[in-house]
Chains A and B, each alone.
Chain A
C-alpha cells in the first residue's frame, strides 16, 4: 500500500529539556500508506517525536511538513483537523460515559457544525458509532461505562476514537503496553484489520520486537534523541548499534555517549 508520496516530513528537528537532548537532527520522511514503528529505550525520544508531530510540543528548531505544508506552529487541535490523529499510551477516555457515547463524542468533535437543538443520539450518529465499535470488535461493550472496561478493550476504544475522523496519519503510542503478553498479538491483529480498509499511514511506538517485525514496513530506532537506524525491520534489528542500545540483544546496553551527556549536564 506504500506509495512514493511523502505525507509527513520532519526536517532537522531539535528539542532539549534543559540539559537533556530529547531530539537531535531528526530528519524523517514518511511515505503515504507506510506502517512505521518507532523503537528505543525509555527516554530515547520516541514520544518527544510523536508529541512534536501532533503539536503538543514545539521543536526548538526545525520543521514538520504535512503534505508539503508547514504545520510546526500548529496546536494539537489544528493538527488533528488536518488529519493527524493519535491514540495514547494511557487511554484518554470519558470515564463515566459508555463506550458508545465515547465514540459519539469523537464523531461530534469531527463534525464541522452541530445543531444545539438536535439530540446527540440521532440515528445516523449512533449507527456510525456502532459501526466503528464493530470494526474493533467492541460491540459487546457498547453500553458499559468505560471506567469498568478491561485494559485491552480500553486500548482499542482509544484507537477507535482516533480513527473516527478518517485520519491521513494515525499515531499509536504504545498500543500494546499494559496488555498481557497473550493479548498483544490479537490486539494488534484487530487494529490492523480495522485499518486494512483505510489508506492510512500508521506510526506506532512499540517495545515488542515481534510486533515490530510483523506489523511494520519500516523501523526508526531512537537513541538519546537521535535516529540511529532507519530501514526495514530485519535490517534495523540486525544493526549492531540497535542491538547494543535498543533491543539489548548484544548484551547489556551500556551508554558510550554517557560521558558526553554528563559533560553537558
Chain B
C-alpha cells in the first residue's frame, strides 16, 4: 500500500477511536449537538467535493431532505428502525437523485448552477408542504432507531447514535480524502482550473462534474438520514433554502483543503447557534454573519488551511533550518 494511503486510513481510524472515547465523557446535550453537527458536516463534505471541481451548490437541502424523508418513510411506513439500514437507504436514495439530476445541470456553471440547485430544492419543499399524506408542512416523527436489533433506552440512545455518526463520518472523510488524493480527484482540480484543457487532454469535464455531484448528493442523503434520526422529527424545512445556506456557510468556513474541517466548522455553527440562542436570542444569525466575514477576511483558505499549516510546519520547518545551517557552514 502507498504510504499516503496508509496514512489516510490510519488517521481515519485513530480519529474515530479518539472520538468514540470522547463520546463516553461528553454530557448528553453535547452528544446530541455533536451528532447533529456531524450530520451537517457530511452534507458540507459533499459541497467541498463539488467545490474542488469548481462548483458550489446552494441547494444541498434537496438531497439532505430526500435522505431524511427516505429514512423517515422507511421507518414509519415499513417499520424498519435499523439505524445502519436507514443511513444506507438515505444515502442511496439521494445518490440516485444526484445521478439523475447531475447530467441535467452539469453543463451549467457559476451562478446558474447554484440557482438551479436552489430551484430544485425549493420545488421539493413546495411539493412536501402540500403532501398532507406525509405530514405536509408539519412533517412527521420518527420512531427511536435500533442498532443491530438492540433498542437502547432513553439515556443511551444519544450515545448509540453518536457512535454510529462518528463511524460513518470517519469512513466518509477517509473515503473523500482518498478520492481527493487520487488521479480522479486531481482531474476535478484540473476541471476547476481549466475546463478547455481537460477536454483537449481527452478527459470529460461532464463526467467529472456528474461524478462529483452524485458523490455530494450521496453524502447529503447520509447527513439527512442521520439528522432525521438525531432530531426524531423531519419536516419540509429540511429542503428550505436557508438550510442549504447553512451548508454553504459550513463549507466556506471549512475550505476545501481538509476533510476534517467541515465537521469542526459544523460544530462551530451548532455551538454558536446554541449559545447565541441562549444569551443573545434573535441575534444568532448576526453572530454567524460576523463569523463568516471574519473567516473570509482572515482565513480565506478556511479552517482547513489552519490544519494544513500546523501539519506542514513540522517537517517543512525542519528542512528550512537545516538548509540555513548548511548555508552558515559553507563560507
A interface, CB within 8 angstroms of B: 54, 75-77, 80-81, 85-86, 92-97, 101, 104-106, 108-111, 114-122, 125, 161-162, 164-165
A80 touches B201 (CB 8 A): yes
Tell me the smallest distance from the CB of B96 to a CB of chain A, in Å: 19
Contacts A109-B202, A110-B202, A125-B183: A119 and B2 contacting too (C-beta < 8 A)?
yes
Closest to A91 in B: B197
- Complex Cα distance, B200 from A119, in Å, reads 23
Complex CA distance for A105 and B203, rounded to whole angstroms: 10
Which of A96, A105, A114, A117 contacts B201, CB < 8 Å? A105
8 closest Cβ pairs, A-B complex: A109-B201, A109-B203, A80-B202, A114-B183, A108-B183, A92-B197, A94-B193, A120-B186
**B199 and A76 form a contact (CB under 8 A):** yes
**Contacting pair B194 A114 (CB below 8 A):** no
Q: What residues of chain B lie closer than 8 Å to A101, measured between beta carbons?
A: 186
| Smallest beta-carbon distance B160→chain A, Å | 29
Are B193 and A117 interface neighbours, CB within 8 A? no
Q: B178: CB under 8 A from chain A?
A: yes
Chain B: CB-nearest residue to A112 = B202
Which B residues between 181 and 214 are near A, CB-CB below 8 angstroms?
181-187, 189-190, 193-194, 196-204
The 8 Å CB contact of A92, one of B2, B5, B196, B203, is B196
* A116 near B197: Cβ-Cβ < 8 Å: no
1/0 per position for B150-193, CB-CB distance to A under 8 A? 00000000000000000000000001001101111111011001
Q: Hey, which chain A residues are within 8 Å of B186, CB to CB?
A: 101, 104-105, 108, 120
Tell me what chain B mostly uses at the interface: helix, strand, loop, or mixed.
Answer: helix
What is the CA–CA distance of A221 and B198 in the complex, to the nearest angstrom?
31
Q: Which residues of B contact A162 (CB under 8 A)?
A: 200
B196 / chain A contacts, CB cutoff of 8 Å: 92
Interface pair A116/B182, CB less than 8 Å apart: yes
Minimum distance in angstroms from A118 CB to a CB of chain B? 6
A114, B181: Cα distance in complex, Å: 12
Establish whether residues B184 and A94, one from each chain, have CB atoms under 8 Å apart when the complex forms: no
- Whether A93 touches B194, Cβ cut-off 8 Å, given contacts A77-B204, A109-B202, is yes
Partner of B178, one of A75, A76, A114, A116: A116
Q: Which residues of B contact A120 (CB under 8 A)?
A: 181-183, 185-186
Q: Is B4 an interface residue (CB 8 A)?
A: yes
Contact call A94/B189, Cβ cutoff below 8 A: yes
Residues of B within 8 A of A104 (CB): 183, 186
B197:A80 contact, CB within 8 angstroms: no
**Shortest beta-carbon distance, B320 to chain A, in Å?**
15
| Chain A residue contacts of B181, Cβ below 8 A | 119-121
Bound: A261/B320 CA distance, A: 65
Inter-chain CA distance A161–B201, complex, in Å, is 8
Whether B182 contacts A118 by the Cβ 8 Å rule is: yes
Question: Contact: A94 with B182, CB < 8 Å?
Answer: no
Tell me how far the C-beta of A124 lies from the nearest C-beta in chain B, rounded to whole angstroms.
11
In contact, B193 and A96 (Cβ under 8 angstroms):
yes
Beyond A54-B200, A80-B199, whether A118 also contacts B183 by CB under 8 A is yes
Closest to A161 in B: B201
Cβ-defined contact, A93 with B2, below 8 A: no
B-side contacts of A116, CB under 8 Å:
178-179, 182, 184-185
Cα separation A40 to B199 with both chains bound (whole Å): 28
Instruction: Check A119 against B182 for contact (C-beta < 8 Å).
Output: yes
Q: Which residues of B contact A85 (CB under 8 A)?
A: 200-202
A118 to B, closest residue via Cβ = B182
B4: chain A residues within 8 A (beta carbon): 119, 121
Residues in B with CB closer than 8 Å to A118 are 2, 5, 182-183
Minimum CB–CB distance from A85 to chain B (whole Å) comes to: 7
B residues in contact with A122, CB < 8 Å: 2
Alpha-carbon distance between A86 and B189 when the two chains are bound, in angstroms: 21
Residues of B within 8 A of A165 (CB): 201-202
Query: Once the chains bind, are A86 and B200 in contact (CB under 8 Å)?
Result: yes
Q: How far is the CA of A120 from the CA of B189 in the complex (A)?
A: 12
Complex CA–CA separation, A86 to B5 (angstroms): 34
* B202 lies within 8 A of A81 (CB): yes
Chain B residue nearest to A106 (CB atoms) is B201
Task: Tell me, rounded to whole Å, the shortest Cβ–Cβ distance linking B41 to chain A.
Answer: 21
- Taken together as a complex, chains A and B put the C-alpha atoms of A93 and B193 apart, in Å, by 8
Residues from chain A with a CB closer than 8 A to the CB of B193 are 94-97
A119, B182: Cα distance in complex, Å? 4
B204 and A117 form a contact (CB under 8 A): no
Q: Are A115 and B182 in contact (CB under 8 A)?
A: yes
A121–B3 alpha-carbon span in the complex (Å): 11
Chain B contacts for A76, CB-based, 8 A: 199-200
Q: Complex Cα distance A125/B178, Å?
A: 17
